[in-house]
Amino acid sequence: MRVIGLFFLNILLISFLFSDEFLFKDESESQRLIFTHDHGGSGEKYYVETMGSGVCLLDYDNDKDLDVYFCQGAALPGWDKNIVLENKLFRNDGGRWMDVTADVGVGDTSYSIGCTCGDVDNDGDTDLYITNFGTDIFYRNNGDGTFTNVTDAAGIKNQSWGSSAAFFDMDNDGLLDLYVTNYVEYSLDKNPWCGDKRTNRRAYCDPDFFTGAEDHLFHNLGNWVFKDVSVSSGIAAQKGKGLGVIPADFDQDDDLDLYVANDKVMNHYYINDGQGSFEENALFTGLGFNENGRAEAGMGVDIGDVNGDGWLDLFVTNFSGESNTIYINSRQGFFSDETFLAGLGQPSLKYLGFGTKLLDLDYDGWLDLFVVNGHVIDNINYFNKDYTHAQRKQVFLNNQNGTFMELSPDQIGDASHLSVGRGAAFGDLDNDGDVDVVIANNNSAANLLIRTGTPNRNWIGFSLEGVQSNQDAIGSRVVIETDGLKQIKYVSTAGSYLAANDKRLLFGLNNYPTAEKITIDWPSGTSDEFTDLKANQYYQIIEGGSISAIHY
């Protein structure tokens, strides 16, 4: 019996190893999603060259499929190519992509870094915010397939080096507010020479050379009027070197707190008092540093309940030579860095992580992990033979016991290809119930990773619409219970790096044909509950209890 048992175990193991359920295929060429980022450099190693760029997923035309917006660089001194560099919007035409930038009016030609999107005015269409090295741009969606630049009119003024941004409702008044992380104080005419003087090899500088810049928090007053509340909210009291941001209700007190990943200085954890004030408390809650008390690079971020205890944990991508970091929520107001215990430490040391997502890839109800990598120093191999500029993505499966296991390159298809990854936006681009990935690579072509492998398990998806709450339902908590397994997710477009994700939520249901109980806690304070929803289907849920299956 034992021999037979071992035999079947080996078969299972072998079948897992050769499984194609996690395969991704880069369809950027075949589907004509052709975008090449140009960092505008000419060999002077301007610091801004190496950090971008970002990408956003949004259904700008409300035709029920996600479109893609890419951020582009701009000419820097010495750049002499004869092309126009502008941000690009591609319309999703179902397996084909069309550059509609010129028609739509979102081709900003500033040096763009990242973007975020959300329905700022609750009119049912998605608006767009671009962070720039220079003045940020705010585009209002006119609802007719075009956008208008309303930056000045809206009272938004961010002229620093903006990086990641996030829309969230900080005071649950039904209007999306805006948090913008700013990186460092830097100007092109003060670009230090960094690198190895002995061999005259120049490299991009270390963030230690620069002072951090203040982040900004803009309160949405309605009617396209925003007020900069950075000072009154307490945000401006801290100066970090912000690269990643994610709003989430970490302490489960029904308001959205903020986590900001800072580059080589303490990360910030702002606890929302619900009244418009934020208290920074990363040091005493274990979120500021890694377990050794070291400030790490801190780029991409995501949140999720990785251990199934109902509380949000946090994942941050870091530099090569540092591990990425997973902070496990102790449920008592503090977090522990359990990266190495989770098996996520050593595998990440060689890589430099940027965009990232916690997502259920095998639909077993447990969150897995996708990390996009790429070094910032293009000649890094000279300084460390183990490192390369272009790096592969990494995918880790949750073992359901506090540890993760990395999938081999063979198992993830084109996701194993090397690239200089930066912003990564995650969403179901083909509406087939699995998550695809669009990656903006630095100074090179973007990737469109379509999930071709399919897990042999069930899933369920939700698209929420607020009524009293903000129309995007950002900040809504969705809890699914099936056969004792409880999964919790929050609606958000934020997270990853310089990106905005699909705000729909996908849950794995293992082999269960239905989700037994679904509870929605809306930001307005109301709740809706549903039972026995059939699997393998998206549902539209409107605040107040209305639910309907979505047919794409």
Partner 1 sequence: MLLLLPLGGQDLTEGQQLLQDGRYHDAVKYYSTILQSYPGNTAVLNGLAEGQHRSGDPMTAIKNYKKSLSIDPQQPDTWISMGNIQYYHQQYPEGEFSYREAVRLEPGNPRAHNNLASVLKEQQKLDQAILHFEKAFELDPQYALACRNLGDIYLRQGKSDFAVQWMKTAVGLDPDNMRGQYWLGKAFYLSGEFDNAKDQYLRILVGKPDLHSVHHDLGLAYFGMRNYGPALDHAKQAIRRNHAIYTYYLSLSRIYASLHNEIMAMAVLDSALNYDRSLAAVWIAKGDIHKTAERYEDALNDYKIASSYNLDDWKGYYKQGVVLYYLGRLDSAQSVLEAAAEKHPHQSGIHHFLGLVHLGKNDLAEAQLYLTIASEKDSVNGDIWFHLGQAYKHLKQFEQARASLENAIGIDSTHAEALYALGQIYTKLDQKEKSQKVLKKFRVVADFEKAEKKLKKQLSLKPSDNDIRRELALLYESRKDFLSAAEIWQQSYFLGDKGATAELERVKEKMK
**Residue 101 or 320 having the CB closest to partner 1:** 320
**Residue 264 or 489 having the CB closest to partner 1:** 264
**Which 3 state secondary structure label does DSSP give 17?**
helix
Q: How far is the CB of 327 from partner 1 (least distance, A)?
A: 11
Q: How far is the CB of 212 from partner 1 (least distance, A)?
A: 12
Q: How far is the CB of 324 from partner 1 (least distance, A)?
A: 13
Contact letters (x/-) for partner 1, 169-208, by CB under 8 A? ---------------------------xxx-------x-x
Applying CB under 8 A, which part among 43-51, 231-239, 282-290, 417-425 lies near partner 1?
282-290
**Residue 92 or 339 having the CB closest to partner 1:** 339
**Residue 265 or 371 having the CB closest to partner 1:** 265
Taking CB under 8 A as the criterion, the residue among 15, 292, 401, 456 binding partner 1 is 292
**Residue 143 or 402 having the CB closest to partner 1:** 402
The DSSP call for residue 419 is: B
Applying CB under 8 A, which part among 57-65, 237-245, 289-297, 412-420 lies near partner 1?
289-297
Contact letters (x/-) for partner 1, 259-278, by CB under 8 A? ------x-------------
> What is the spatial distance between Cα 531 and Cα 515, in angstroms, rounded to a whole number?
7
**Residue 2 or 197 having the CB closest to partner 1:** 197
Strand order of the sheet with strand 313-316?
301-304, 313-316, 325-329, 335-337
Instruction: Tell me which long-range contacts 198-206 makes (C-beta under 8 A, separation of at least 24).
Output: 201/379, 201/382, 202/43, 202/45, 203/45, 203/377, 203/379, 203/380, 203/383, 204/45, 204/47, 204/49, 204/50, 204/376, 204/377, 204/378, 205/45, 205/47, 206/264
Interface with partner 1 (CB under 8 A), residue total 30
> What is the spatial distance between Cα 152 and Cα 310, in angstroms, rounded to a whole number?
42
Q: How far is the CB of 445 from partner 1 (least distance, A)?
A: 29
**Residue 45 or 477 having the CB closest to partner 1:** 45
**Is residue 293 involved in binding partner 1 (CB under 8 A)?**
yes
Applying CB under 8 A, which part among 28-36, 284-292, 500-508, 523-531 lies near partner 1?
284-292
Q: How far is the CB of 192 from partner 1 (least distance, A)?
A: 9
Contact 419, 24 (CB under 8 A): no
- Nearest Cα to Cα of residue 83 among 42, 137, 38, 133: 38
Q: How far is the CB of 316 from partner 1 (least distance, A)?
A: 17
> What is the spatial distance between Cα 389 and Cα 464, in angstroms, rounded to a whole number?
40
**Residue 129 or 404 having the CB closest to partner 1:** 404
Q: How far is the CB of 457 from partner 1 (least distance, A)?
A: 29
> What is the spatial distance between Cα 60 and Cα 90, in angstroms, rounded to a whole number?
10
Residues 294-353 that bind partner 1 (CB under 8 A): 294-295, 321, 330, 334, 336, 340-341, 343, 345-346, 349-350
Backbone angles phi, psi at 85, to 5 degrees: -105, 120
The pair of structure tokens assigned to 240 is: 């970090």
Q: How far is the CB of 245 from partner 1 (least distance, A)?
A: 22
Strands 325-329 and 313-316: antiparallel
Q: How far is the CB of 241 from partner 1 (least distance, A)?
A: 12
**Is residue 286 involved in binding partner 1 (CB under 8 A)?**
yes
The structure tokens 């270390």 sit at: 206
Applying CB under 8 A, which part among 99-107, 150-158, 293-301, 357-365 lies near partner 1?
293-301
Taking CB under 8 A as the criterion, the residue among 384, 511, 531, 546 binding partner 1 is 384
The Cα-based distances of 448 to 27, 264, 351 in angstroms read 5, 31, 21
Q: How far is the CB of 333 from partner 1 (least distance, A)?
A: 9
Contact letters (x/-) for partner 1, 19-48, by CB under 8 A? ------------------------------
Distance of CA 269 to the CA centre of its chain: 17
**Residue 220 or 285 having the CB closest to partner 1:** 285
E strand intervals along 267-419: 268-272, 278-280, 301-304, 313-316, 325-329, 335-337, 353-359, 368-373, 394-398, 404-406
> What is the spatial distance between Cα 357 and Cα 214, in angstroms, rounded to a whole number?
26
The DSSP call for residue 168 is: E
Taking CB under 8 A as the criterion, the residue among 75, 221, 236, 283 binding partner 1 is 283
Q: How far is the CB of 348 from partner 1 (least distance, A)?
A: 9
The DSSP call for residue 204 is: P
Instruction: Tell me which long-range contacts 133-137 makes (C-beta under 8 A, separation of at least 24).
Output: 133/48, 133/161, 133/162, 134/110, 134/159, 135/110, 135/159, 136/162, 136/165, 136/180, 137/108, 137/110
**Residue 2 or 198 having the CB closest to partner 1:** 198
The pair of structure tokens assigned to 505 is: 């939520």
Q: Which residues share a beta bridge with 184? A: 212
> What is the spatial distance between Cα 379 and Cα 388, in angstroms, rounded to a whole number?
8
Contact letters (x/-) for partner 1, 207-246, by CB under 8 A? -x--------------------------------------
**Residue 343 or 409 having the CB closest to partner 1:** 343
The pair of structure tokens assigned to 219 is: 């309160």
Binding residues for partner 1 (CB under 8 A): 196-198, 206, 208, 265, 283-284, 286, 289, 291-295, 321, 330, 334, 336, 340-341, 343, 345-346, 349-350, 383-386
